[in-house]
Chains A and B, each alone.
Chain A
């Protein structure tokens, strides 16, 4: 695109800083001289996408290679979309401003179900047919990875290839296979790519259904293709791709140095899909983390280090790591933050140590107020220890506590909802002046968890519970949008028939569904009824233990039998099969 055209477009949008592509540490390689051109995309607004570490790791891996380049694109804001469509300008990459259709491979990260329509939209603004079946040799290969690829089926119509699990080695294998076989034809190329660890090519499988709507089988369409795909797992202690993180030039969700300290989780919370997706637990070497912090700070100039993982206080060397970092960087006014805390003295002491400057709130995810329900969730919290930790926190000057609860949990009764009020009251009683920010979300059953068979509670009942809590909780209460949670439940456990609904909803104008101000449940409802597909079938229906699940052929490392055992323990005699 010529410069005049680009600056004209940038002049007309509200936040042009999203589309500049000249961030510190962005990589601009020679287009003509590079063999494989990969475009990486987080299908949401730049401010959100820039904080994603997975994409950044892949960006560095690809750009370190001589034979390939990686550039980025995020979902254009609605204002830019309007201009691009009006002026018939195809969507372009941030770095070289090449039309996205000029790339060899486009990789999307699937972080949450409600970003699916954005993927179709990005392809469409980029002049690329959204359907796998409408694309040919001249189009880029469309690939996707990330947590939602543990059930890729709802996106099977649109994605040529999924990477299930860790992407670090898979991307290298894809590049190498692509270079060897790019000229043998798209179908043959996909067959070759399907042989890579963690790669799932949905068009090489076909699904059949029973009269009752459940899946009869999902089978490869040809021989030489495995019946099931196992996710890719890498040794994270070896690689250190965090040395040159991107520094955005505008404010984003997190402008800070994120260090992944471990992957996987030592807890086994039954509702949590990340536990399976990132399984098994792998630790980064503590000395290498110090080294990564040093390099990262030097190369970014950030003033905050975030130690990130699913449960950072469970990292075995966390105390050592925090002390070292604080000691080393105190004089440079660099603060350290932890991504997730347990409500206990240990966490509090850690936070007190790092809090020397910023005194923002303490955040605890309690999930439920009920001891019994937390048992069902396999997330035990010692309430007395929690209360005494909060009491200490008050004395030490903390004034804000953020609490997270879920409603609609399996086996939940009205008494259980009341316990949320009880526990909040107990916390409030410690010190009446303590500010509480309480977030209520709705339980969404996820694939590859012991709850993958349960039905989601209906909207009416969830609304009643949320209403009760809003009226009775003493604090600032924020309730997630219940219709979003319903859709999330539909797509999390959906099958490939839902592709029609995603397309229909997108054509009706749905995008940025994760954003309250853009979410159009009315259009989604219309899309479901136009395609004659029932939301309840996917969200609310209790599955038989014997039913073939849409993700049955995707192996994420924890077996169905293991989940079933946990599920039966939870449900007692209620479970069939």
Chain B
């Protein structure tokens, strides 16, 4: 079945639902889309899958303001109506922020992402601004961290580039910045705040 509409659905992930991983998130949205009765498109072959693409995997346990999926439809649906009917079927904590129509033939937005911004809070940690600034400098020199803002007292905002530099996960960055161990970093709640797209 030919797709005649493509929509970009941007959603947030908050609360307990952040504890399901990327593949499970996809399946959860797919079953929700089927319950909502959306006119879905399927891939050909023995194992038909719903035609869609998703923003890059979010680590297990992370919240997000900016996850998105691009969904192909075989009938035209008003975006407001789609938003309402899909939201009703999503589990607690998955919140649709926006639904926009995009060109059916457009390339997946995924390929255009060059960086992602994250935030975590310093709550529960003793922070020494001087030490933090030193470690921040090292991180910026030695890894794929493109920028970092620790000017506020409450937490750290940072941006990780998709290419170049030593790959470091958000958790490793927090460990290095706060000088804490693996178990302590697990208790930190990270939030993906933003995607940066190539123009």
Contacts and interface: CB of A to CB of B under 8 A. Distances in A.
Given A16-B61, A357-B46, A247 B23 contact: no
Nearest to B124: A4
Nearest to A19: B19
Interface stretch (B24-32, B95-103, B106-114, B173-181): B24-32
B17 interface: yes
B31 A300 contact: yes
Contacts of B47: 357-358
Given A22-B17, A301-B35, A333 B48 contact: yes
A21 B31 CA distance: 17
A11 B61 contact: yes
A264 interface: no
Contact of B20 (A249, A255, A297): A249
Interface string B150-193: 00000000000000000000000000000000010011010000
Contacts of A53: none
Given A17-B21, A22-B93, A301-B89, A249 B28 contact: yes
Contacts of B127: none
A17 B20 contact: yes
Contact of B33 (A10, A22, A251, A301): A301
A299 B20 contact: no
B183 A301 contact: no
A385 B33 CA distance: 44
A303 interface: yes
A301 B33 CA distance: 7
A301 B30 contact: yes
Interface in A5-51: 7-8, 10-12, 16-17, 20-24
Given A249-B91, A255-B27, A357-B48, A298 B189 contact: no
B9 to A, nearest CB: 16
B16 A301 contact: no
A251 B35 contact: no
A540 B14 CA distance: 56
Interface string B35-62: 1000000100011100000000000110
* Interface SS, B side: helix
Contacts of A298: 35
A101 B27 CA distance: 34
Given A8-B187, A22-B92, A359-B46, A17 B24 contact: yes
Nearest to A20: B16
A302 interface: yes
A281 interface: no
A253 interface: no
B31 A247 contact: yes
Contacts of B186: 11-12
Contacts of A7: 16, 189
Given A251-B27, A357-B48, A16 B187 contact: no
A250 interface: yes
Contacts of A11: 61, 186-187
B37 to A, nearest CB: 8
Contacts, number: 72
A303 B60 contact: no
B129 interface: no
Contacts of B93: 22
Nearest to A22: B92
B34 interface: yes
Contacts of B183: 12
Contacts of A23: 91
B61 A20 contact: no
Given A22-B92, A22-B93, A251-B23, A301 B32 contact: yes
Which of B19, B91, B186 is the most central at the interface, judged by chain A CB atoms within 10 Å of its CB? Answer: B19
Contacts of B42: 333
Interface in A48-66: none
A16 B92 CA distance: 16
B35 A22 contact: no
A23 B31 CA distance: 12
A24 B60 contact: no
Nearest to A11: B186
A303 B92 CA distance: 22
B100 to A, nearest CB: 24
Given A251-B24, A255-B27, A17 B89 contact: no
B67 to A, nearest CB: 15
B121 to A, nearest CB: 12
Contacts of A247: 31
A12 B28 CA distance: 23
Contacts of A250: 20-21, 24
A298 B36 CA distance: 8
Contacts of A297: 34
Contacts of A333: 42, 48
A133 B183 CA distance: 40
Nearest to B24: A250
Contact of B24 (A10, A12, A249, A301): A249
A297 B36 CA distance: 11
A303 B49 CA distance: 10
A20 B46 contact: no
A199 to B, nearest CB: 37
Contacts of A16: 19, 60-61
A296 to B, nearest CB: 11
Given A7-B189, A247-B31, A251-B23, A22 B46 contact: no
A16 B59 CA distance: 13
Interface string A283-297: 000000000000001
A299 B93 CA distance: 19
Top 7 A-B residue pairs of the complex, sorted by shortest distance between their CB atoms: A301-B31, A301-B34, A16-B19, A301-B35, A11-B186, A20-B16, A17-B20
Interface of B: 16-17, 19-21, 23-24, 27-28, 30-35, 42, 46-48, 60-61, 89, 91-93, 183, 186-187, 189
Given A24-B35, A301-B34, 5 more contacts: A12-B186, A16-B61, A299-B35, A333-B48, A359-B46
9 contacts: A17-B19, A24-B32, A249-B28, A250-B24, A297-B34, A299-B35, A300-B31, A300-B35, A332-B34
